[in-house]
Chain A
Amino acid sequence: MKARVFVTLRSGILDPQGKAIEGALKSLQIDGVKSVRQGKLFDVEIETLDPAAAKALLQQACQKLLANQVVEDFEVEIS
């Protein structure tokens, strides 16, 4: 089965890349964007067909490697 893992910066952590993108959007006259925060998206294929097991597996993957919980949050989405 397929899953998606989103890793995002925790709120309150400065995101200089997001800020730069925000500025670039403004300069391109793409108005109305209030703020941008940049994160990561992982497309994952997993062997199990059990959504609960898949979720547990990916949560473990996030805690161990995919996210740095000092500054990042994660979210697992099973499709």
Chain B
Amino acid sequence: MKSAVILFPGSNREGDAIRALKPHGPAEIVWHGEADLPRGTDLVVLPGGFSYGDYLRCGAIAAHSPIMAAVRAHAERGGLVLGICNGFQILVEFGLLPGVLMRNAGLHFICRMQHLRVERTDAAFASAYEKGQIIRIAIAHGEGNYAADSQTIARLEGEGRVAFRYCDAAGEVTSAANPNGSINAIAGIYSERFNVLGMMPHPENLIDPLVGGTDGRGLFTSIAGSFTVAV
């Protein structure tokens, strides 16, 4: 699997993403000003951070970067795109995913370990997990409150496009376990064709038993696995 991690001015988890991707194949940083993705890119990652300082709206300015046209073309070809945290914010601003990420309901930035429920495992991003599995992943954001109009939500739910939901350790989706006020405790969503995933939590920070645990690894092994099968 060959990965391209897009570097926007103000991105800051690009190194974390590279570290999580490296065991599965080459992963390189691509400057936002480029017009093309490296030849043979399988996966595009929009990493976490504060692109353009989160000025105007999170992800809004980065969504207008030159490289984004190539990202759209890659997605339209069915290529995989993963947006984490600020990357998710960029994807919704760019229109590859619906909805918007608003200020956390508690109005504070929040960094903590958070339980998530894996909602489906037939997508390329989550095949290494069990359906309904409860995983523990870091969150670190100030604007992760997912919102969309009721039709969009109904459609996302109807098409099974919610990838992960915030929950408690027992897997219950409760308002106490929802860190940011997201509608239906949505932590991540897929595109219509399930080849674009945007999520607020940081699986790239959960790949090492010494540093919080390994519950994030499944996401990367899933993606890598989808290419092994295809070949």
A residues engaging B (CB < 8 A)? 13-14, 16-17, 20, 64-66, 68, 70-71
Contacts and interface: CB of A to CB of B under 8 A. Distances in A.
A17 B105 CA distance: 9
A71 B147 contact: yes
A6 to B, nearest CB: 14
B103 A65 contact: no
Most chain A beta-carbon contacts within 10 A, residue among B64, B102, B103, B147: B102
B29 interface: no
A46 to B, nearest CB: 18
Contact of B100 (A16, A64, A68): A68
Main secondary structure of the interface of B (DSSP, over half): loop
Interface residues of B, number: 21
A17 B100 contact: no
Contacts of A68: 57, 60, 93, 100
Given A20-B107, A70-B99, A71-B100, A13 B147 contact: yes
A42 B57 CA distance: 13
13 contacts: A14-B147, A16-B102, A16-B103, A16-B104, A17-B103, A17-B107, A20-B107, A64-B64, A68-B57, A68-B93, A70-B92, A70-B99, A71-B147
Given A65-B56, A70-B100, A70-B148, A16 B105 contact: yes
B184 to A, nearest CB: 14
Nearest to B61: A65
Nearest to B149: A70
Contact of A65 (B60, B92, B99): B60
